[in-house]
Chain A
Amino acid sequence: MNEILAGLLILSGGVFALVATLGIIRLPDVLTRMHASTKAGTLAGTLILTAVAVRLPEISVTAKCLAAVLFLFLTAPLAAHMIGRASYRDAKQRQEKPALLDSVEGDNSGDIVRHIPEKHLKQTQRSLHLEPPELSGEKSSTPENEKPDKPPYE
Chain B
Amino acid sequence: MTPEEFLAFSIDAGFVMVMLSIGLGFYRIAKGESLADRVVALDMITVTIVAFCGLYAILSGAETFLDVAIVIALVGFLATVAMARFAERSVIRRREAEREKDQ
Q: A residues touching B (Cβ–Cβ < 8 Å)?
A: 1-4, 6-8, 10-11, 13-15, 17-18, 20-22, 24-25, 30, 33-34, 37-38, 41-42, 44-45, 48-49, 51-52, 55-56, 58, 60-61, 64-65, 67-68, 71-72, 75-76, 78-80, 82-83, 85-87, 89-90, 93
- Interface residues of chain B, those whose CB is within 8 Å of chain A, are 3-4, 6-7, 9-11, 13-14, 16-18, 20-21, 24-25, 27-28, 34-37, 39-41, 43-44, 47-48, 50-51, 54-55, 57-58, 61, 63, 66-67, 69-70, 73-74, 77, 80-81, 84-85, 87-88, 91-92, 94-95
| Complex CA distance for A80 and B16, rounded to whole angstroms | 27
Residues of chain B within 8 A (CB-CB) of A21 are 20-21, 24-25, 44, 48
- Would you call B63 and A78 a contact (CB within 8 A)? no
Smallest CB gap from B89: residue in A: A86
Q: How far is the CB of B20 from chain A (nearest CB, A)?
A: 6
